[in-house]
A = this chain, B = another copy of it.
């Protein structure tokens, strides 16, 4: 039976002993990674969070104690007292491989049943098992490394912002439901019958109030909540590095964040990113890469060939353009050999996910062009296309003709997919880019109105303010995203800091004064009493850690994550609760079948 440690006190960690420690009397404590009983000798690999030390039990122990040692099994928790000595057969695989500890005594601190999953990285069990036995999964050195990186990253973040005069200020978790945005998690109030708090989707309004309070520079590493359907890199609760500054414009925010990103990658990965970070307007990003978060680790720019085919007899092209769409292509340079017709069909299927109706293509060889569409095009059209796209023998050209938004979406995503299939991406490469000048609005087809692309407090660019009332779709925002390796890692904006402009903004969004008051009353009130120019940024902390640890799954960088159905298979949350508990908070369950 396991007990306390008695008088034993740990002197060293299992990963730290070296041959210079020879002769040292030590007490190690940890888990049995494996045990080998060779009859007259028992070897144990003892593991703690720093590494492994080999322990030897031999006949210098009393027979009774030696017999006890033979009973040790995997994942028992031991305290072992002994002396460090050099190993006979050195293990170059581990840092402690030069030494072992000859046990003089030991204590079983706790026993273990046979664990349902192996404590090694290539365990090949289902993710469900890993999550159910998370406390065993987290014993794996690779998982511990991810959590250690997360902890170190949080420290670097905080050191940086503290050193630059930011205050970390906690904002409430029990807040007001959000009028615009994603779906809230609601919390029924007990004291205020029939009323509800919401968990924050972000501290956006609160951090703006802190600026109105004159607190000048704020940051927080903070949990945020969105009750949306989950994807590979989404969780119901996620962590954000939230930043806001007063008396600044876009330049100052970008500058300080570049210093931050430099420090982050330097301290955690010893990579010096080159400053200033490349910048690209939203328009450039869309035109060249089809997406607002381009992966610049590889080429394959989108090229607009509409001007050459707008009169074409190939109606798929010309009529698309006539209807206001466009035809754009990508030159998959030198890769014509690497795509069979079947591969191309598979690319077409992929493009269709993003709304494309089809994928046109041309393979260029020394003998001419192989393409199902070549016969529909005039020689002059073909030549113009080849010239514009720099098409040479060995290239594969692909095209989508559609509404421009569909062209962008399908080719933009196809571009990433092709790079992945061609294995063009160097995992150690790190490519950062700021995307700037986002549109202030996007048109919501469902609501038949403009909605804020970022949020309703985002400032338009000064030179576009006059377009607010006439051509809102053309208004660019003082908004920016930081994109790393094709993932949006953060984004922010300069906020509106005066009521006149804010009211114009609400008008463009189709809110009456009353609606605006109702939705954002307290922020609008605050703006009556002197709001400084201010702006900020928020980073997805989980995503940053994924990048820092080369993880492809957000759940791997969170100690106790939820599954895609928002459950915790370890604790079984969410669960049923008693009628009494529900009554206390004045609600009852309203199941579908009860309707």
Chain A residues in the interface with B (C-beta under 8 A): 1-5, 9-10, 29-32, 47-49, 75-77, 79, 109-113, 115, 133-136, 138-139, 144, 147-148, 150-151, 154-155, 158, 162, 167-177, 183-199, 205-206, 209-210, 212-216, 223, 225, 227, 236-237, 239, 246-247, 249, 252, 459, 462, 494, 497-498, 500-501, 521-522, 526-533, 558-560, 562, 565-568, 570-577, 581-592
Contact = CB atoms under 8 A, between A and B. Distances in A.
A581 B177 contact: yes
A546 to B, nearest CB: 15
B175 A148 contact: no
Contact of A170 (B133, B136, B223, B527): B223
A48 B216 contact: yes
Nearest to A175: B573
Determine how many copies of this chain the complex contains.
2
Nearest to A217: B49
B528 A113 contact: yes
A247 B5 contact: yes
Contact of A575 (B29, B168, B177, B528): B177
A1 B498 contact: yes
A175 B568 contact: yes
A138 B213 contact: yes
A480 to B, nearest CB: 16
A170 to B, nearest CB: 6
Nearest to A168: B151
Given A110-B530, A198-B573, 17 more contacts: A3-B498, A4-B533, A29-B532, A75-B530, A134-B213, A135-B209, A135-B213, A147-B169, A158-B158, A171-B560, A173-B199, A174-B566, A175-B571, A177-B577, A197-B573, A522-B572, A586-B589
A592 to B, nearest CB: 7
Contacts of A562: 172, 174
A194 B594 CA distance: 12
Contacts of A526: 135
A533 B249 contact: no
Nearest to A585: B186
